[in-house]
Amino acid sequence: MRVLIDATGLTKRKAGVGVYGKELIDGLVASNLVQLYLVVQDDDPDLAYYPAAVTVLRMPSRFLRKVPLRIIFEQTVLPFLIRKYRVDVVHSLHYSFPIFRFGAKSAVTIHDMTSLSMPEVHIGIKLRYYRFFIRRAQKWSDGLIFVSRSAQEDFVSHLGPPRGLSTVVYHGKSPAFHPLIDRTQIEPLCVKYGLPERYILYVGTVEPRKNLERLVEAFASLASALPTTSLVIAGMMGWKQEHLTDLVHAFGLEDRVIFTGYVAEEEKPVLIAGSDLFVYPSLYEGFGLPVLEALACGVPTITSDVSSLPEVAGDAALLIDPKDTRAITKAIEAVMGDPVLAAGLREKGPEQAAKFTWERAATQTAAVYSALYSR
């Protein structure tokens, strides 16, 4: 069975969707369950080196970064490749997909439904782009892969049941995420990012949907009670982030709130494992991979009681109403002030995270390909 994976939506600086794509592809390559054709951006080093049995087709990244040109690519070049390599199944990792497929079956991964449920978190042409393809996926795709039951339910509530196959395949966690064995491991990152010995951590893109203003407000109310602890916000600066930096200045917390900027994937495990507490107060997630990674590291975790996050966290994290700043404050206060509670969360985290593996995700995804191929 020949499977073409369109990974051109993934960039060399990978956030949640990018990590999903890289880990899934690695799992499929290792499983040797299908013959793979990978379409990738030519400047992505993570998707460049695979065994000779895997065909890697590199496309110019400068062309793919612009939405109008990307649409042209998806609807002209991808169909050409599908026909050239006599592809049986084409898997689009990031919402959009080629309409003309020359008999190949189509699988599309749906990561979240923010384009319909939270349109305010998207910008202009990208919002229209996501909406167009997510609506067509409901009617024209042969199979949809959802990263959580929450995302699947949101899709049905907005658009109705998909015409084709509908499957939930959870993300996994990399073995690199585990409890810190030796605290000296974190010293290079402390020097690089100016981190103190004790810190509360958030990892993810800095954007309004992540609800970081309320996290800063909660930390500000506890700053005097936690004089040796800083708040570290690690991730790429997204849009409208200036409101957050203004808030930090308004509270006079410039020396206590640290923005690291983008953190490389290889640095994340130690950065997370070295934290005293991980807080992820997002207003909406399709999956919430940073929460899973924090649990795997045995770090006490606070996250939201909305969307997919309870699915990921189970009973291994404290769940809060993300719109209630006081609830966030009380949860931080509880974990930082109660060693018994913190120890219980540290113990539960790795047990919960062990339920999610990329090997299982790859096997389940390959099963979707087989089901589509046999239809």
Residue 161 and residue 27 share a domain: yes
Residue 187: both structure tokens together: 């010293």
Query: Which residue reads 């990307």 in tokens?
Result: 70
Which DSSP helix (H) or strand (E) runs through 362? helix 358-373
Q: Give domain status of residue 177, yes or no.
A: no
Comparing C-alpha atoms, which of 93, 85, 92, 88 is closest to residue 105? 88
Q: Give domain status of residue 178, yes or no.
A: no
Residue 21 and residue 131 share a domain: yes
Of 273 and 75, more confident: 273
Mean pLDDT calculated for residue range 88-114: 89
The secondary structure of residue 134, as a DSSP letter, is H
Contacts for 159 with CB less than 8 Å, ≥ 6 apart:
116, 134, 135, 138
C-beta separation of 291 from 277 below 8 A: no
Question: Of 105-114, 120-129, 228-237, 340-349, where does mean pLDDT reach its minimum?
Answer: 120-129
Percentage above 70 pLDDT, the chain: 95
Provide the domain limits for residue 226. 183-353
Question: Of 234-238, 244-248, 250-254, where does mean pLDDT reach its minimum?
Answer: 234-238
C-beta separation of 303 from 309 below 8 A: yes
Residue 306 and residue 263 share a domain: yes
Residue 276: both structure tokens together: 């005293």
Residue 100 and residue 225 share a domain: no
Residue 87 and residue 159 share a domain: yes
Q: What is the CATH number of the domain that holds 361?
A: 3.40.50.2000
Q: Give domain status of residue 318, yes or no.
A: yes
Residue 106 and residue 127 share a domain: yes
C-beta separation of 2 from 84 below 8 A: no
Residue 268 and residue 366 share a domain: no
Residue 363 and residue 349 share a domain: no
**Long-range contacts made by residues 220-228, C-beta under 8 angstroms, separation at least 24?**
220/251, 220/253, 221/329, 222/329, 222/332, 222/333, 222/336, 223/251, 223/253, 223/256, 225/333, 226/336, 228/196, 228/197, 228/198
Residue 336 and residue 192 share a domain: yes
β pairing state of 229-234 and 257-261 = parallel
pLDDT class of 124 with cuts at 50, 70, 90: low
Rounded Cα distance between 266 and 217, Å, is 30
Per-residue pLDDT tens digits for 170-193: 999 999 999 988 888 899 999 999
Mapping DSSP onto H, E and C, the string for 297-330 reads CCCCEEEECCCCHHHHHCCCCEEECCCCHHHHHH
Structural domains in the chain (count): 2
Residue 155 and residue 108 share a domain: yes
What pLDDT score does 51 carry? 83
Strands (E), the chain: 2-6, 35-41, 55-59, 89-92, 105-110, 143-146, 165-168, 198-203, 229-234, 257-261, 277-280, 301-304, 318-320
Q: What residue type is 215 in one-letter code?
A: L
Residue 146 and residue 40 share a domain: yes
Residue 217 and residue 154 share a domain: no
